[in-house]
Amino acid sequence: MRIYLDFNATAPPAPGVVDAVCRVLRDTPGNPSSIHAPGQQARAVVDDARGAVAALIDAAPSDIVFTSGGTEADNLALRGAADVLESTGRRHLITSAIEHEAVLATSAALERRGWRVTRLAVDASGVVDPAALEDALDDTTGLVSVMHANNEVGTIQPIADLAALSHARGAWFHTDAVQTVGRVPVSVQSLGADLLSLSGHKFGGPKGAGALWVRRGLKLEAQLTGGKQERSRRAGTENVPALAGLGVAAAYARNTLDQHQTEVARRRNQLEQRILADVPGTHVNGARDQRIPSTTNISVDGVEAELLLIALDLEGIAVSTGSACSSGTLEPSHVLKAMGLSASRARTSLRFSLGPETTDAEIEAVIARVPPLVARLRRLNHTATSVGERAGVRRHPRAR
Ligand X SMILES: Cc1ncc(COP(=O)(O)O)c(C=O)c1O
The verdict on 296 binding ligand X (CB under 6 A) reads: no
- Selected from 6, 176, 194, 362, the binder of ligand X by CB under 6 A is 176
- Selected from 28, 75, 107, 151, the binder of ligand X by CB under 6 A is 151
Catalytic annotation present for 325: yes
- Selected from 4, 24, 54, 70, the binder of ligand X by CB under 6 A is 70
What single-letter amino acid sits at 173? Answer: F
Phi, psi (deg, nearest 5) at residue 354:
-110, 165
The verdict on 206 binding ligand X (CB under 6 A) reads: no
Burial 222-238 (b: 16+ CB within 10 A, else e): bbbeeeebbeebbeeeb
Return the ∠ at Cα 48 (arms to 43 and 49), rounded to 5°.
100
Number of chain positions touching ligand X (CB under 6 A): 14
The verdict on 147 binding ligand X (CB under 6 A) reads: yes
Report the alpha-carbon distance of residue 93 to residue 113 in Å, rounded.
12
Region at 77 (left for phi over 0; alpha for psi -120 to 50; beta for the rest): alpha
Q: Which is nearer to ligand X, 303 or 335 (CB)?
A: 335
| Collapsed DSSP state (helix, strand, coil) of residue 278 | helix
- Selected from 96, 106, 175, 199, the binder of ligand X by CB under 6 A is 199
Q: Which is nearer to ligand X, 74 or 230 (CB)?
A: 74
Catalytic residue among 218, 325, 380, 393: 325
- Selected from 102, 171, 287, 338, the binder of ligand X by CB under 6 A is 102
Those residues whose C-beta lies under 8 Å from the C-beta of residue 269, and which sit 6 or more positions away, are none
Report the alpha-carbon distance of residue 356 to residue 7 in Å, rounded.
10
The verdict on 323 binding ligand X (CB under 6 A) reads: no
The verdict on 98 binding ligand X (CB under 6 A) reads: no
What 8-state DSSP symbol labels residue 344? H
Only one of the segments 129-137, 171-179, 275-283, 352-360 lies at the binding site for ligand X (rule: CB under 6 A); that segment is 171-179
Q: Which is nearer to ligand X, 50 or 90 (CB)?
A: 50
The verdict on 182 binding ligand X (CB under 6 A) reads: no
What 8-state DSSP symbol labels residue 195? E
Report the alpha-carbon distance of residue 378 to residue 383 in Å, rounded.
9
CB 93 within 8 A of CB 85: no
The verdict on 178 binding ligand X (CB under 6 A) reads: yes
The verdict on 152 binding ligand X (CB under 6 A) reads: no
The residue nearest ligand X at its CB is: 70
Question: Residues in the site for ligand X, rule: CB under 6 A?
Answer: 69-71, 74, 100, 102, 147, 151, 176, 178-179, 199, 201, 210
Q: Which residues are identified as catalytic?
A: 325
